[in-house]
Structure 1
Amino acid sequence: MNRIFGLALAISVLPALTAQADDIVGQASVIDGDTIEIHGQRIRLWGIDAPESTQLCRNDDSNLYQCGRTSATALAGLLWAIKRPVSCSPVDRDRYGRTVATCSLGTPGPDIGHWLVANGHALDWPKYSRGKYEDAQRGAEKAERGIWAGSFVEPWQYRACVKAGGSPAKCSDDSKVRP
């Protein structure tokens, strides 16, 4: 009986042994569509860019909606639906001091960035991803999932427009950002 208990215990901790020493593992809370927090540490998901919280997109009926909020809500729903600790492998630090990492649900588990891009809640950010999520994005675009069902401005263009003095409404409108 003790051998069975010992074997069951060893098997239950085996997935945790695959995490690296510098990985960040724990229950995650959502900050926005591409940023989570684990144990008080903010983590920016590597290689993707989700709409900003103030950003607006147009749906398939051309009606405006808060796509940044929708992205964050989708991420929160994913973390709620699959109740596993999130495991993040740091890649870098951004200019705000946040850890930039690839994160998965469990160890091993599905890549959260891939899920967000594949479901149209974020974009592959080729400047950083080197195209890692390009296929997932093509699939989301072809199936018109998430932001691909309507029109939007890439989050990096939206931020640049706002930084240049544009209003969130003006910077969310594709025809005004890219005349």
Structure 2
Amino acid sequence: MGTDRLIAVHIDDDTLGASGPDAEHERRVAIFDLIEENSFAVTGQERGPYVLSLSQAERRLILAVRTEAAEDVHTFILSLGPFRGVIRDYFMICDSYYEAIRTQTPHQIEAIDMARRGIHNEGSELLKERLAGKIEIDHPTARRLFTLICALHAGQGRSPGA
């Protein structure tokens, strides 16, 4: 494996605490998927592999990047404002999808799932754009990181617009 990758992700429970066991499970799954396969490079740095610590302050996501030896590399602050609409839409389409599984035909479920994937891709591309020039990630990593951001939002028991 190369060095342009994440080897661990830590969540600050004080600012991004989960609201219960289901939310904690969603976070663990999202982190596992992200760590399992990713491409993560800090622009201008060749100190990976990296450890990412996530916290929140004033509706901003704090991404603290460290080396495997716990040396600070850089801390990035990402406003969550541009993500609110996409996250809200993603949660709504996910609710529709889970409802459709119980009541709709396979064709209708597939159409809703395609829309869900489209919104997920939109959030992933927005994340890549917001990190451009700071952190370089590929599309699959952006998707996994966006999934984690959504899990963090849902896990706090509040809507993305809150």
TM exceeding 0.5: no
TM-score by length of 2: 0.28
More helix by share: 2
Structure number with the bigger relative contact order (C-alpha 8 A, sep ≥ 6) is 2
TM-score by length of 1: 0.26
